[in-house]
Amino acid sequence: MEEEKDVKQNNSNNNDNSDSTDDVEIKFDFLDDDIEETSEEQEEETVDKDELLPILLQQEEIENLKKQLEEVMREKDELYDRLLRKLADFNNYRKRIEKEKQEYYNFATANLMRDILPVVDNFEKAIAQFENHDDPSFKGIELICRQLEDILRKHGVHAIESNGKPFDPAFHEAVGTGEVEEIDDNIILEEYQKGYMMHDKLLRPSMVRVNVKKMQKEAVEPDKEVGDNEESHWN
């Protein structure tokens, strides 16, 4: 009987041990499951990081390219502004050179034109002496005078209108006075010598006689004879 009890007890102990082993195996199974899940999560995180890294690098490269582009655009704007300033300076320089060249040309031409004026004066006086305009000599002198006048016009020289015009000291030189009641004061009565302009500058003033009434006659005192003043505003 005792032996049977021992056997039963042993069997009972064996059963208990078996249950305990099963419990341990179940716990290990759960642990294994947790470990597997953790490993999978870590693998997913690693995969996510591996996929995200190129994107981050691309974004960083894009930002760098944007900064480089902004710098290039800024330099381009600066260079464009410098180019515009250089072009403006060059245009101003070119205009100044052209103006100086034209002024020098006009100055040199003015001296020549001024030397021609007395010749034209003499031809006009000679023409005025002829009564017979059919005279061959008259026609020859008139032709030469017209050719000289064409040369003057070609270089921008033209006569100043004086007779019957108000006296203007900027263009006229009073070398005599007269008194005509029917004519207003300060009106030119007679032109002794033609004046000439070259473009917009005075080449030679007109020498004229001016109408002055008695009360104002003392204010005008001619101090030069006809032909004395060949001075021009071209120096």
Q: Has residue 215 been placed in a domain?
A: yes
Q: Has residue 214 been placed in a domain?
A: yes
CA distance 182 to 79: 73
Q: 136-154 and 2-129 helices cross at what angle (nearest 10)?
A: 160
Domain that residue 166 falls in: 159-235
What pLDDT, on a 0 to 100 scale, did the predictor assign at position 86?
Answer: 93
Q: Show the tokens assigned to 104.
A: 């020098």
Residues of the chain with pLDDT under 70: 1-50, 53, 214-235
What pLDDT, on a 0 to 100 scale, did the predictor assign at position 105?
Answer: 82
Q: Has residue 52 been placed in a domain?
A: no
Whichever domain contains 182, its CATH number is 2.30.22.10
Q: Has residue 171 been placed in a domain?
A: yes
What pLDDT, on a 0 to 100 scale, did the predictor assign at position 61?
Answer: 85
Q: Has residue 170 been placed in a domain?
A: yes
Structural domains of the chain, count? 1
What pLDDT, on a 0 to 100 scale, did the predictor assign at position 141?
Answer: 92
What pLDDT, on a 0 to 100 scale, did the predictor assign at position 150?
Answer: 94
Q: Has residue 172 been placed in a domain?
A: yes
What pLDDT, on a 0 to 100 scale, did the predictor assign at position 209?
Answer: 94
